A and B are shown apart, each in its own frame.
Chain A
Amino acid sequence: MKKYPFTIEPLTTEDPTSAFLKAFEAILENPGYRSILDIYSRVSMNCTRCAQECQIYRVSRDPRDIPCYRSSLLLSVYRRHFTTAGRIKSRIFGTPAVSEQELYSIAESFYRCTLCGRCSRFCPMGIDHRIVVRLGRFIMSRVGIVPKALSVSVNEQIKGPARNTSAIPLKALKDNLEFLEEEIFELKGKRVRFPLDVRNAEYVFFAPVSDYLMEADTLMGIACVLHEAGVSWTISTEYFDAINYGLFYSDDVLETLVQSMFDEVRRIGGKKILIGECGHAFRVADMYLNNFTDRTGIPVVSMIDLTARLIKTGRIELDPDAVTERVTYHDPCNIARNGRLVEAPREIIASFIKNFVEMEPHGRLNLCCGGGGGTVSVNEFKPYRMAVSGKGKADQLISTGAELVITPCANCKKQIGELIAHHKVPMRHAGLHDLVFNAIRMNNSGEGD
């Protein structure tokens, strides 16, 4: 059986192309997907405007990386097999059915994309190639074509006893949080708690679970902000992972995990959902929570927005001398491309960092870190992420001349950290709340103070 690229598992089905077409047909029962493929088929003019803006194509010069070419792979299958005109044309010209080689090309090309969406901002026809790539990945996932790392993590989150992508048991989480509380006391001299399972809290906090393992400063910064401002918050113990890889490849996964988050908030009677420093997690919760759960009305708040608001209203105070390095900021695609969180992080930065330099381009037109779309979680992608998809970001980091790059996203942090090491960029990286942790003035008396 053919092994698909990027460590995609050998397929279990004997006839992958038939299975692919069957899955495609099932997904087209959703009129929304048929509609968008219909529109894209008719407006896609292959003008290559997107090629100039794709940071992957700029480096690779490989036609597989031209966004409209990539989309055309799936649109061509759609036209040929699922439209009347396409079927007639295929009969007249004897166009062959989708081949296994074609399916292989789709799999290979679609997992080279980081779903950053920069191309969509420049397409004169308004095509969002991310939708096509994601849909293609969704169809492939129904056939079993998924990078192993993604499917293993998702299985842990949905079926595993710990219900999180890193399989961290609850006991380990509690130990870790206790350690962080001690660490805060040592560094800040205040007792700050990470409250667990507090019923009817204002905010139920979800962080990407990897933060509990690797981003202690981010979590300590968040806890200090919430403590200092006297915010009512809690971490739930039965489901606490904000990660939702379904955004990158599967509606089935997306919906299951959104529902898990919703159920957990309802279980402990939380009023709002608070998402930590994670681009895709915020986008998923913000876009899909009410969509999947029939307008439940649970507001979704980003920790970045909340901190900016608390600074503006004077409920927390940051030391303007705490950070002296030359600092730049990387906009995570999932929160910046749609303009959702562009100003808020800059307001936080401006409130206490004096030596700040913007990357060019930045904001909605930022370059991707090169690890988006789930690729950062797949170790076998690393050579590609370093040499191709992340090269543009590495060059951009160097050109700022900054000593420190901030990014409020777990995926971007991992990718940028690896880029800095790989390209020997004289710079360190940190989360936004890592620096807030350094700078926050703890005026509010904590327990045991």
Chain B
Amino acid sequence: MDSLIIISRGPLFRFCFTLMVLGSLRLVWRTFRSAREGGSVTFSPARSGALRETAGLLVLPGRIADTKILFSAASFVFHLGMITVLLLLQDHTQVVETNTGFGWPYMPRNVADILAAVSLAAGVFLMAYRIFNRASRMISGASDYAVLALILGTMLTGFAASRQWNPVSYDLTVLLHMLGGNAVLALIPFTRLGHGLLFPFTRLASEAAWRIPGRLRARL
């Protein structure tokens, strides 16, 4: 078990992390390249209002809409908690520092615990919503459940690892957490987990897509 944990913390993490970084760079670069090739000469990002709207999506009031308030709030809390804990938990920064040499400040453990618990609860709500809400259930595919289940599993094992109430051994829980985390990292560039990287560009890309110029259309 120990050797598996060491592999997960070391070589496997380095492999998945590298895959994530390179794959993400490729993903963003490809998106920019094709958007530029297909872009319109008359499209002005600043004038389109897309930048302002994207900024609105990133802050709480922009995401809490007048309907589906609970859903929007849960989604916001889920993402905020997950990303904050992912980046600022001491255990996580240590793993990155050990493997890459780069480190940064981390948050107090008790704050991370609260954030993780709230984020996990919000994630469970989102999963329940997908299962029990009629519209959501009708259009959800296997991959929608799989992606969310993978993240929830990883969060749960991370949260439960050092708890006394956890009936599973510490080592096994940590191992599962690391394998899940590595899987998430590796899958970001290749699956819909990449939405976190691309969504800041979506509105801009949408506005540009309405104005695909004639020189390109004429080629069809």
Contact = CB atoms under 8 A, between A and B. Distances in A.
Given A35-B34, A46-B140, A126 B216 contact: no
Contact of B216 (A31, A44, A128): A31
Contacts of B42: 290-291, 295
A251 B210 contact: no
Contacts of B141: 46
Interface stretch (A51-59, A145-153, A197-205): A51-59
Contacts of B216: 30-32
Contacts of B153: none
A45 B198 CA distance: 12
B185 to A, nearest CB: 16
A35, A85, A291: residue with the most chain B Cβ atoms closer than 10 Å: A35
A291 B213 contact: yes
Contacts of A41: 192
Interface in B46-81: 49-50, 53-54, 57, 63, 65, 67-68, 71-72, 75
Interface in B127-164: 133, 135-136, 138-141, 144
B65, B192, B206: residue with the most chain A Cβ atoms closer than 10 Å: B206
Interface residues of A, number: 53
Interface stretch (A66-74, A177-185, A230-238, A387-395): A66-74
Contacts of B190: 85
B31 A35 contact: yes
Chain B interface mostly helix, strand, loop or mixed?
Answer: helix
A101 B74 CA distance: 37
Contact of B199 (A27, A32, A125): A125
B109 interface: no
Given A30-B217, A125-B202, A53 B67 contact: yes
A287 interface: yes
Given A125-B202, A295-B41, A35 B135 contact: no
Interface string B7-41: 00000000000000000000100110011011111
B218 interface: yes
Contact of A33 (B72, B144, B192, B209): B209
B49 to A, nearest CB: 7
Contacts of A124: 57, 63, 72, 75, 199
B54 A125 contact: no
A45 B214 contact: no
B211 interface: yes
Contacts of B27: 42
Contacts of B140: 46
Contacts of A46: 136, 139-141, 144
A180 B133 CA distance: 57
B176 interface: no
Interface residues of B, number: 56
Given A36-B209, A290-B42, A43 B34 contact: no
A29 B138 CA distance: 33
Contacts of B212: 30, 32-33, 251
Contacts of B206: 36, 120, 126-128, 131
A122 B195 contact: no
A41 B27 CA distance: 12
Given A51-B135, A131-B209, A32 B34 contact: yes
A31 B215 CA distance: 12
A135 to B, nearest CB: 9
Contacts of B65: 49, 122
Interface string B196-207: 001101110110
Interface in B165-220: 190-192, 194-195, 198-199, 201-203, 205-206, 208-220
A251 B31 CA distance: 23
A32 B139 contact: no
A66 B220 contact: no
A339 interface: yes
Interface in A101-136: 120, 122, 124-128, 131
A293 B203 CA distance: 25
A48 interface: yes
A126 B202 contact: yes
A63 interface: yes
A14 B144 CA distance: 36
B35 A57 contact: no
A47 B217 contact: no
Contacts of B195: 42-45, 125
Contacts of A39: 31, 198, 201-202, 205
A294 B215 CA distance: 8
A69 B138 contact: yes
A42 B198 contact: yes
Contacts of B192: 41-45
A99 interface: no
B178 to A, nearest CB: 25
B135 A48 contact: yes
Nearest to B195: A43
Given A46-B139, A131-B206, A291 B144 contact: no
Contacts of A255: 214, 217-218
A311 B12 CA distance: 70
B138 A63 contact: yes
Interface of A: 26-27, 29-36, 38-49, 51-53, 57, 63, 66, 68-69, 72, 85, 120, 122, 124-128, 131, 251-252, 255, 287-288, 290-295, 338-339
18 contacts: A31-B37, A33-B38, A35-B34, A43-B202, A45-B144, A69-B138, A85-B190, A122-B65, A124-B75, A126-B202, A128-B206, A255-B218, A287-B210, A291-B42, A291-B214, A293-B214, A294-B214, A295-B42
Sorted from nearest, which 5 A-B pairs have the closest CB atoms? A32-B38, A126-B202, A35-B34, A292-B214, A126-B203
Given A40-B202, A49-B72, A255-B218, 10 more contacts: A30-B212, A42-B192, A46-B141, A46-B144, A47-B136, A49-B68, A127-B206, A288-B211, A291-B214, A294-B41
